[in-house]
A and B are shown apart, each in its own frame.
Chain A
Amino acid sequence: MLINYIKIAWKVLLRHPFYTFITLFGISLTLTVLMVLTSFLDHLFSSHYPETNRDRSLYIMLMVQRDSARSGRSSGPMSFQFLNKYAKTLKTPERVSIFSAFNSSNAYVGSQRIKLNTKFTDADFWRVMDFDFLEGKPYSEQNITNGDYVAVITDDFRKQYFPDATESAVGKDVEIENIHYKVIGVVKGSPVTRPITYADVYFPYTAPKSNYQRSDMRGGFMSILLAKNKSDLKAINDEFQDRINQIPLPIVENDNKYTYLEVKSEPYAANFIGQILDGGPGLKAILFGALAFILFMLLGLPALNLVNVNVSRIMERASEIGIRKAFGAPIQTLVWQFIVENIFITLIGGAIALLLTSGIIYFINSSGWIAYADLTINLSVFLISIFVCLIFGFLSGVLPALRMSRLSIADALKS
C-alpha cells in the first residue's frame, strides 16, 4: 500500500514540475537554514577538537564581586594565585588546569608583522585538552619549575614564522616581544570560536609577562575542572562552592570593599548563555521572545507557504478523490495517503537540503572565515533535521488533506 502511495506521489510530482519546484525549494531552503544553524551551534557548544572532554568539564571563567549595597559590581577572570589556592587543590576532579584568556601580541619577521594570540597555561592544560602534536611535545611540570623559556606553537604560526616548511621547528627560537623562546612542540590549532583553547603560541605560566604572581583575587586566568566521569560533576561543583563559601567576607582590595563574592563552576554552554542572560529578566524575555519569533518565522513562513500551495493544488485532484471515495475509500485512508505523500516529498527536500548543507559547510570550512573551522553534519544534527522534516510533512499535509477529505463525492466527480 505504502509503495503504491509513493508511486502515486512520484507521478503527481512529475506532472507539474513548477509546483514541485516551489514545494522542494521551500522545504530544502528551510531545512538548509536549520541544519547550518544547528551545525554551527554544535560547533560552538559540543565537544570538539581540542576540547573533546567538554561534556565532563566544569569551567570557572568569571568572578563577580559586589559591594554591600549591591550597586557596584566588578567582574572578570581571576588571578592565578586565587585559582591555584581554591581550584587546583580540589579533591574530586581528575585534573584541574589553569590558563589565561588569550592576549594579543605581535611578532616580526623582516618587514612582516604577524598578529599573535598568546596564552599562558599550566602543564595539566595539555592533559585536559586533546591537542594533536604534529611535532615535539608539550611542556611539563619540570619545564615550569625550571622557569624554562619554552613555547608550543600552532602549525599556522609555524608556517608564517619559519618559511622553510620541510625543517622541523622544534628546538628553534621564536622572538616575541623581545624575549626568545624555544619551540618545544607544534600543535594543530584550535578555531577562534573556542576561546578557551584558541591561541597561536602557548607559554608556561611562569614565562615573563604572565602576571601569575599577582596576589589580588582578580586577574587574567580561568580554570577547567575535569571530572573522571559525568556523574561527578555535581560533587565537584559542591566541593568548589564549599571552598568559595569559606572565603572570609568582606574582602578589601584596592580601596574597594566587597561583601559579596560569586564564582561559578559551570558546564561550557551554561557559562556562555549565563553571560548573555546576566542583563536581568527583562533582557531575558526580549532575547527569548526574539529567538522564538525568528524560529517561528523561519519554520512557520515556509510551512504556511506549503500549506497554501497544497490547499490550492489539491482541488486539481478532485476527480481522483471522487472516484476513490465513490469506490468506498474511507476518509482516514485518503488523509493517510496525502500525509504519506507529503512526508515523501519532505524527505526528498530533506535530501536536497543535506546536499546543500554539506556544500555550505564545506565552503565555510575551506573559505578561511574561521581558521580551523570544523563544522560537520554529525548524527545529532542529521536526526534533528529529519525530525524537523517530519513535522514539516505533517504541518503541510494535514490541513489540505482534511479539507480534501470533506469534499462530497458528487462535487468531486462533477469537475
Chain B
Amino acid sequence: MISHLFRLIWNKKKAHTLLIVEIWASFMVLFGLATLIVVNVGNYREPLGFAYENVWAIDLNNNQDTTEVANKLGRIVQQLKTYPEVESVSRMSSNFPFSANQMNDGVEYNKRNVVSDRYVTDENFAQTLGISVTDGKWYRNADSVGKYRPMVINEKAKEELFGNENALGKIVSDKFRVVGVMDNFKAKGEFMTNKPAVFELMEAKNSWSNIVLIKVKPGTDAVFEANVVKNIATMVKGWSVEVNYLTDSRKNQHNLVLVPVIIAAIVSGFLLINVALGLFGVLNLSIAKRRGEIGLRRAIGATGSGISTQFIGEIWVLATFAMLIGLLFAVQFPLLNVFDLASGTYMTAIGIAVLIIYGIVTLCALFPSRQAALIQPATALHEE
C-alpha cells in the first residue's frame, strides 16, 4: 500500500514539486517558532530560586559627593533596618534581580574555567530574597578571615566547576573559598537560561555597589516609600534615590522576552492558516479532477473509506517527502551547535513541527477526500 502510494506520488513529482516546497517552507517556519517556544518553556519550568514579592531595590547614586561614600552607605543601611515596616535589608552590586545590568567573570578551579554571573552581596542577602542554601550556609562577615574570601555558588556553577565532587571548602580562583551551594539563581526572570552564578561577600570599604534591597511587610505603600526617600535624601545631600519594585522590573524583563515571541507566533499563525487554506484549495481541485479515476475504483469494489484513506495517505507521503528535506536543514542546528542550545531542544522542536504539519495536512485533506468517497461510480463514470 505504502510503496504504491510512493509510486503514485513519484510519477507526478513535477506537479507536486510546488506542494512539497510549500510544505517544506511551512515546516521550517514551524521549526523556528517551535524552537523559540521550547527554549522559553524549558527555561520557564526551571525554578527562579528566589522570592521577589515585596522586595524593593533602592538605587543610590552619590553623584558629585565622593567623601566617605562607603560609610554613608553603611549608615543608610542601618537607618533602613530601624523601620518597623522593613523585614530585611541587604546591599548588593548594581546587577540586582530583573535589572538591565549584568556582570560576569571567569572562575577557575583545577584549570576548569567557568564564565559565570557575578554578584557582590552581603550576609543578609539570602534572607532578603528568601534563598535557601542547599549545602553549607550563606556567608557571614566573620567568614572573611585569612587569605580567602567566602563565596556561595549555585548548583549550575557547582556542576561545571566540580562535577560530582563536594564543593564545600574548595578554593576557587586562588581567592575564594566556597562556603555554600544554592539552587538556581535566574536573575533576569523565569525566561532566563539557568546559568552559573557566584556570590561574593561585599567588603566593608566597598563604595560602588550602590543597590540596597529591602524586604517590606506586605501592604506597605508609597507613603512609606516617599518617607524613606525623603529620609535618605536628608541624610546624604546631593545623592539621587530611586526605588524600584522587583515585581515591576520583573514585568519589564518578561515583556522583553514575551513580546517578540507573541509577535512571531501571531505572524506564523497567519502564515500557516494561509498555507492550510491554499493546500485545502489545491487538494479540493485535484481530487475533483480525478473523479473518473475514483468512479472506476468504486465500480470495481473500493469502499468509501478506502478512497479517503488513499487521499490522506497520498498527502502524508508528500508531507513526509517535504519534511525529509526540511530535516536535512533542521538537523544542522544541533549538529553545528548553532546558538548554543541543547540538542534535545531542537529535537523536541522538530518533533512538534512534524506533528503539526501532519495535523495540518490531514485536516486539509479530510474534507476533499470525504467528498471523493461519496462519489457514486455511476455518476462519475457517466460524466466521463
Q: What is the interface of chain A, defined by CB distance below 8 A to chain B?
A: 18-19, 21-22, 25-26, 29-30, 33, 103-106, 108, 110-113, 177-178, 208-209, 211, 213-214, 297-298, 300-302, 304-309, 311-313, 315-316
B271 and A302 contacting across the interface, CB-CB below 8 Å: yes
A304 and B63 contacting across the interface, CB-CB below 8 Å: no
B285 and A298 contacting across the interface, CB-CB below 8 Å: no
B222 and A33 contacting across the interface, CB-CB below 8 Å: no
Query: B278 at interface (Cβ–Cβ under 8 A)?
Result: yes
Per the 8 Å Cβ criterion, residues 11-48 of B in contact with A are 18-19, 21-22, 25-26, 28-29
> What 1/0 flags go to B348-359 for Cβ under 8 Å of A?
000000000000
B289 and A25 contacting across the interface, CB-CB below 8 Å: no
B348 to chain A, nearest CB (A): 21
B278 and A306 contacting across the interface, CB-CB below 8 Å: yes
A308 and B278 contacting across the interface, CB-CB below 8 Å: yes
B285 and A111 contacting across the interface, CB-CB below 8 Å: no
| B259 and chain A: residue at smallest CB distance | A369
> Of B25, B222, B238, which is within 8 A of A111 by CB?
B222
Query: B277 at interface (Cβ–Cβ under 8 A)?
Result: yes
B240 and A105 contacting across the interface, CB-CB below 8 Å: yes
B57 to chain A, nearest CB (A): 11
Among B59, B242, B278, B280: residue with most chain A CB under 10 A: B278
Q: How far is the CA of A134 from the CA of B271 in the complex (A)?
A: 45
> Of B18, B242, B273, which is within 8 A of A104 by CB?
B242
CB neighbours of A213 from chain B (8 A): 64
**Cβ-closest 9 pairs across A and B:** A108-B226, A305-B278, A113-B222, A178-B233, A312-B285, A22-B277, A111-B223, A26-B274, A304-B22
B60 to chain A, nearest CB (A): 11
A29 and B270 contacting across the interface, CB-CB below 8 Å: yes
CB neighbours of A313 from chain B (8 A): 281, 285
Q: How far is the CA of A214 from the CA of B62 in the complex (A)?
A: 13
A177 and B233 contacting across the interface, CB-CB below 8 Å: yes
B230 and A309 contacting across the interface, CB-CB below 8 Å: no
Query: B221 at interface (Cβ–Cβ under 8 A)?
Result: yes
Query: B282 at interface (Cβ–Cβ under 8 A)?
Result: yes
CB neighbours of B70 from chain A (8 A): none
Query: B225 at interface (Cβ–Cβ under 8 A)?
Result: yes
Per the 8 Å Cβ criterion, residues 219-241 of B in contact with A are 221-223, 225-226, 229-230, 233-234, 238-241
Q: How far is the CA of A178 from the CA of B231 in the complex (A)?
A: 10
CB neighbours of B242 from chain A (8 A): 104-106
Per the 8 Å Cβ criterion, residues 59-105 of B in contact with A are 59, 61, 63-64
Q: How far is the CA of A214 from the CA of B29 in the complex (A)?
A: 52
A300 and B25 contacting across the interface, CB-CB below 8 Å: yes
B96 to chain A, nearest CB (A): 14
| A113 and chain B: residue at smallest CB distance | B222
A312 and B281 contacting across the interface, CB-CB below 8 Å: yes
Query: B366 at interface (Cβ–Cβ under 8 A)?
Result: no
A301 and B281 contacting across the interface, CB-CB below 8 Å: no
> Of A25, A208, A316, which is within 8 A of B274 by CB?
A25
A22 and B278 contacting across the interface, CB-CB below 8 Å: yes
Query: B114 at interface (Cβ–Cβ under 8 A)?
Result: no
A26 and B64 contacting across the interface, CB-CB below 8 Å: no
Q: Could you pull out 6 A-B pairs where Cβ atoms are within 8 angstroms? A: A25-B277, A26-B277, A108-B225, A209-B238, A211-B64, A306-B278
Among B225, B273, B277: residue with most chain A CB under 10 A: B277
Q: How far is the CA of A177 from the CA of B238 in the complex (A)?
A: 10
CB neighbours of B25 from chain A (8 A): 297, 300-301, 304
Query: B110 at interface (Cβ–Cβ under 8 A)?
Result: no
Per the 8 Å Cβ criterion, residues 295-354 of B in contact with A are none
With contacts A105-B242, A304-B18 known, is A298 near B271, CB below 8 A?
yes
CB neighbours of B238 from chain A (8 A): 208-209
Query: B258 at interface (Cβ–Cβ under 8 A)?
Result: no
Q: A33-B270, A178-B233, A209-B238 are in contact. List 18 more A-B contacts (CB 8 A).
A: A29-B270, A33-B267, A105-B242, A111-B223, A177-B229, A178-B229, A178-B230, A211-B63, A213-B64, A297-B25, A297-B271, A304-B21, A305-B274, A308-B278, A312-B286, A313-B285, A315-B285, A315-B289
Q: How far is the CA of A108 from the CA of B243 in the complex (A)?
A: 11
Could you tell me the dominant secondary structure of chain B's interface residues?
A: helix
A351 to chain B, nearest CB (A): 18
A308 and B274 contacting across the interface, CB-CB below 8 Å: no
B187 to chain A, nearest CB (A): 19
CB neighbours of A108 from chain B (8 A): 222, 225-226, 229
B206 to chain A, nearest CB (A): 16
A215 to chain B, nearest CB (A): 11
CB neighbours of B286 from chain A (8 A): 312
Query: B380 at interface (Cβ–Cβ under 8 A)?
Result: no
With contacts A22-B277, A177-B229 known, is A301 near B240, CB below 8 A?
no
Q: How far is the CA of A83 from the CA of B271 in the complex (A)?
A: 49
> Of A22, A113, A301, A315, which is within 8 A of B226 by CB?
A113
Query: B381 at interface (Cβ–Cβ under 8 A)?
Result: no
Query: B275 at interface (Cβ–Cβ under 8 A)?
Result: yes
A209 and B22 contacting across the interface, CB-CB below 8 Å: no
Q: How far is the CA of A30 from the CA of B270 in the complex (A)?
A: 9
B270 to chain A, nearest CB (A): 5
B281 to chain A, nearest CB (A): 5
CB neighbours of A106 from chain B (8 A): 225, 229, 242-243
B229 and A112 contacting across the interface, CB-CB below 8 Å: no
A19 and B281 contacting across the interface, CB-CB below 8 Å: yes
| A306 and chain B: residue at smallest CB distance | B278
Q: How far is the CA of A305 from the CA of B280 in the complex (A)?
A: 11
Q: How far is the CA of A316 from the CA of B285 in the complex (A)?
A: 9
Q: How far is the CA of A42 from the CA of B25 in the complex (A)?
A: 29
Q: How far is the CA of A33 from the CA of B273 in the complex (A)?
A: 14
| A211 and chain B: residue at smallest CB distance | B63
> Of A110, A111, A178, A208, which is within 8 A of B234 by CB?
A178
CB neighbours of A177 from chain B (8 A): 229, 233, 240-241
A124 to chain B, nearest CB (A): 24
> Of B18, B229, B240, B273, which is within 8 A of A308 by CB?
B18
Q: How far is the CA of A33 from the CA of B266 in the complex (A)?
A: 10
With contacts A177-B229, A209-B240, A307-B18 known, is A29 near B282, CB below 8 A?
no
B9 to chain A, nearest CB (A): 16
A302 and B274 contacting across the interface, CB-CB below 8 Å: yes
> Of B29, B270, B281, which is within 8 A of A18 by CB?
B281
| B266 and chain A: residue at smallest CB distance | A33
B69 to chain A, nearest CB (A): 14
| A312 and chain B: residue at smallest CB distance | B285
CB neighbours of A19 from chain B (8 A): 281
Q: How far is the CA of A162 from the CA of B124 in the complex (A)?
A: 40
Q: How far is the CA of A211 from the CA of B282 in the complex (A)?
A: 68
Q: How far is the CA of A111 from the CA of B226 in the complex (A)?
A: 8
A246 to chain B, nearest CB (A): 29
CB neighbours of A111 from chain B (8 A): 221-223
CB neighbours of B226 from chain A (8 A): 108, 113
B64 and A22 contacting across the interface, CB-CB below 8 Å: no
| B289 and chain A: residue at smallest CB distance | A315
